[in-house]
Every structure is written in C-alpha cells, then in structure tokens.
C-alpha cells in the first residue's frame, strides 16, 4: 500500500524545494544584477519534487525572498539571503 502524504509532509517538501531554489539562485549570483533562468532551475530539480516547484516559486515571491521582472529570470532579495542563512541553521528533521 502506498503511503498517503500528510499536510506536514507536503509543507516539509515545499520548504525543501524553496530552500533548494534559494540556494541555487544565491550560488548563481555573481553580482547584484545576476539572475537565474527558471528553465535552468526546473531542469536541475529532482523529478519527485517538480510538482511542488511552481508552488515554491509562488511562495518565495509572495514572501519577497526572490523577485523577477520578467517571470523567467529570478534574483534573490536581501530578505532571501537572510532567510537562506536562517534555513541553513535549522535543525535537520530526521
């Protein structure tokens, strides 16, 4: 029998995808004007997590952690950098 996902499992998964996106955009940042193409992000994400990708992007934008002027190229915001640092300090759930 297949295990059913709980809302907590989904929330944890979205949180993981968000963190991955923040890490990738931050790593791609060479200057304050550097952007990361959404197609590069989508190609690099694990196929099991790809259904959560759009929700994670929307959540990050609504929290002002990333921004995009054209909907294709994304930048991490100052708040996004702070959030990424905080997430790296979080305890890893077992």
Domains of the chain, by residue range, sit at 36-88
Evaluate if residue 10 carries a pLDDT over 60: yes
Name the band, by pLDDT with cuts 50, 70 and 90, for residue 1. Answer: very low
Mean residue pLDDT of the chain comes to: 86
For helices 53-62 and 7-28, give the axis angle rounded to 10 degrees. Answer: 70
Say which residue the tokens 């929290």 belong to.
63
Strand 66-67 and strand 73-76: the pairing is antiparallel
Strand partners, 73: 37
pLDDT digits (tens, 9 = 90+) for 15-57: 999 999 999 999 988 777 788 898 888 888 888 888 899 999 9
Evaluate if residue 88 carries a pLDDT over 80: yes
Evaluate if residue 5 carries a pLDDT over 90: no
Average pLDDT over residues 50-66: 94
Are the C-beta atoms of 83 and 18 separated by less than 8 Å?
no
């Amino acid at each position: 029998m297949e295990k059913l996902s709980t809302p907590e499992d989904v929330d944890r998964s979205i949180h993981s995808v968000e963190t991955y996106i923040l890490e990738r955009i931050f790593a791609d940042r060479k200057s304050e004007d550097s952007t990361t193409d959404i197609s590069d992000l989508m190609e690099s994400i694990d196929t099991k997590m790809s259904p959560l990708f759009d929700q994670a992007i929307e959540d990050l934008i609504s929290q002002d952690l990333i921004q995009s002027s054209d909907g294709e190229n994304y930048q991490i915001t100052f708040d996004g950098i702070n959030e990424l640092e905080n997430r790296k300090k979080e305890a890893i759930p077992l």
